[in-house]
Structure 1
Amino acid sequence: MKKYLLFFTIILFATISNCHAQYVYYFDDQLAITKASKAVVIGKGGKEDDGLFRLDYFLKKGGSLLMSAHYTDSSLSKMQGEFSKFYADGSIQEQGTYLNDEQSGLWEKWDSAGRKSDSSIFQTGKAVTKSVFNYYKNGQMSYYSYEDSLTDILKRMSYNEKGELKTEVYFKGQNGILKSYDSGRVMIDSLFTREEKEAQFSGGEILWRRYLEQTLNASTPVNNGARNGIYQVIVRFIVAKDGSISNVTSETKHGYGMEQEVIRIIQNGPAWEPAIQYGRKVNAYRRQPVTFVVQ
């Protein structure tokens, strides 16, 4: 979260029941201090009994609570103590603690459905252990990963939509074991590297941009009557071990021929560099964005 040591507006309220002053801050959409007339977020808070300064951030329009943070004082220069972030419906999104302006101890995140997506332990601002959880649409866990940098251990497990274990990986250093489960059978294989790389266009980002410039018909949305604006098309496809492309589909539906144009250049383009998992080439899905600008 950005912090700015600029001027701020303070409104003091005195009550018989609480002798602490209440402060009001005005922020823009980047959480920079601004004038009240330009505010998007309003911060309200004050000093608590433990000596820390608590500030709650509210969306100006609607008044929903965005997050709650603690600082050493009202200048907001150093974060210290509990921190919470919320979704628009009030459910918790992220929670943890700061120590001397650095993340410390247990930090957790939840998705919009209330399922835990991340659990990490921090020391002096760096995550020393990290757990990641992914889920299918039906709520079943699809993937779990645990990494401990102190002991150099990595664990990963994947599941099918019924909750049945599909693969299990355990690494200690660069040496690991892969177990695959299929219809009651267990296949065990040795692994000798954690190297992983996402599938990419042959030659990397520079050649991908050049390919777009030479091949993509950027006038497609204009020719089909699209209104002014910025349109990001996202296509999904499979890059096989040999780099060949298949199953090209669109995740967006902007229309005006944009999705079809991106699918065309992916299908008719050169082979890609396959994904690498544990030092081996594997089949992998790839999501590729392409942006059209109409003006």
Structure 2
Amino acid sequence: MRLLFITALLTLSIASLGQQQQILNGNFEPTDGNDSRYLAITEKKDGKWHRVLYLLHQTTVAMQGWYLDEKCTIADSLQIWYHDNKAVSSIKEYRNGVMNGTTLEFHDNGMMKDSVTYENGRRKGISLGWDKDGYINDSTSFDGQGNGVQMHMYSGGEGKVYSAGRWIQDTLKNGPWNYYHKNGTVMAKEMYKNGKLETCKCFTETGEPIADELCIEKEAEFKGGQEGWAAFLRKNLDANVPVRKGAPVGYHRAMALFVVGADGSISDIKILHDPGFGMGAEFIRILKKSPKWVPAQQYGRNVKAYRKQPLTFVVQ
């Protein structure tokens, strides 16, 4: 009922002749199931198709852009995406389905995040990146043929280098990549070939080698893994929340994004997909009640990292 109400509400507010409406999932595919995420409103204008995506659980605009085809698979002209707080997330320019021109990305506080120039789908020229406080933390230079170099810096404006290396085909690391501690000593030396990691050596802040088996990356996880997470949910989750709020029978999948600190603490919880009927709020409540997680590991040390976590509610 909630989905039908939202769809009807949006239809009344923006309806016009020639518009097409679809419910899409997170992969932008048509759906009529519990994985619905967007309401797509598409209209032909001046020989092109203009599409607006609305987040169903928030009834806010997620994206608007232009396409050359009715199915909206060939982007053309501007594509503007928005954060959940309605601030602009990115502005991208396409020509016949290929990125061309300058792409701008923004943090959710409105500060510039990235500025990259594309030519026929390839990165070209010098690009810069900034942290949320406006300090430069990234610099790249590409030749327009897929080859480039990158230097990434620690946030905070101190100008301390975190990593440096080369790219091929725009997205594949190639050759040596070096990573540095904040004191300037080498933290890790990686060797890539066509995007594949071949060797990795790690070091402490004083230059002492770290055992190879510790020179790996691990994602943050709940203590005890999936079994530990399931046991925590059985004990603490109020699974009847959607039942009491009248959710339809079926499986309802929510998705959260949050930060797991180097000490395992959870912060910056954000619901990426909320099926409604109180499920998003219950997910936030359960995450705030969660004990510390096992932090992510990188080059023999604990690091702060983002974590995406799904949660499925079952209504019988």
Q: Classify the TM-score, shorter chain.
A: 0.5 to 0.7
1:9-60: CA deviations, max 9, x gaps? xxxxxxxxxxxxx9732222427799xxxx955444432xxxx52536486x
**Counterpart-to-counterpart distance in 2, 1:257 and 1:107:** 37
Among 195, 210, 223, which residue is 2:227 paired with?
210
**Counterpart-to-counterpart distance in 1, 2:187 and 2:290:** 40
- 2:21 corresponds to: 27
Q: Residue 153 of structure 1 aligns to a residue in which SS?
A: strand
**Counterpart-to-counterpart distance in 2, 1:292 and 1:255:** 10
Among 105, 110, 126, which residue is 1:109 paired with?
105
Q: How does 1:237-252 map to 2 (within 5 A)?
A: 237-238=260-261, 246-249=263-266, 251=268
Among 166, 170, 177, which residue is 2:160 paired with?
166
Unaligned ranges ≥5, structure 1: 1-21, 240-245
Shift of 1:260: 6.8
1:258 matched to 2:286? The reply is yes
1:209-258: CA deviations, max 9, x gaps? 23434x425142349x856487767775445xxxxxx3534555859983
Q: How does 1:40-51 map to 2 (within 5 A)?
A: 40-47=39-46
- 1:55 corresponds to: 50
- 1:197 corresponds to: 217
On the 8 A contact 1:103/1:125 being kept in 2, the answer is yes
Identity among equivalent pairs (%): 9
Aligned residues: 235
Structure showing greater radius of gyration is 1
AA aligned to 2:64 is M
Q: Structure 1 130/29 Cα, relative in aligned 2: closer, same or farther at 3 Å?
A: farther
On the 8 A contact 2:163/2:180 being kept in 1, the answer is yes
Q: Structure 1 129/220 Cα, relative in aligned 2: closer, same or farther at 3 Å?
A: farther
Q: Residue 209 of structure 1 aligns to a residue in which SS?
A: helix
**Counterpart-to-counterpart distance in 1, 2:23 and 2:219:** 35
On the 8 A contact 1:118/1:131 being kept in 2, the answer is yes
AA aligned to 1:199 is E
Q: Residue 229 of structure 2 aligns to a residue in which SS?
A: helix
Unaligned ranges ≥5, structure 2: 1-15, 32-37, 167-173, 192-196, 198-215, 270-280
- 2:77 corresponds to: 82
On the 8 A contact 1:135/1:142 being kept in 2, the answer is yes
Among 285, 291, 294, which residue is 2:311 paired with?
291
TM-score computed with the length of structure 1 as normaliser: 0.54
Q: Provide the aligned C-alpha RMSD in A.
A: 5.0
**Counterpart-to-counterpart distance in 2, 1:235 and 1:58:** 24
TM-score computed with the length of structure 2 as normaliser: 0.51
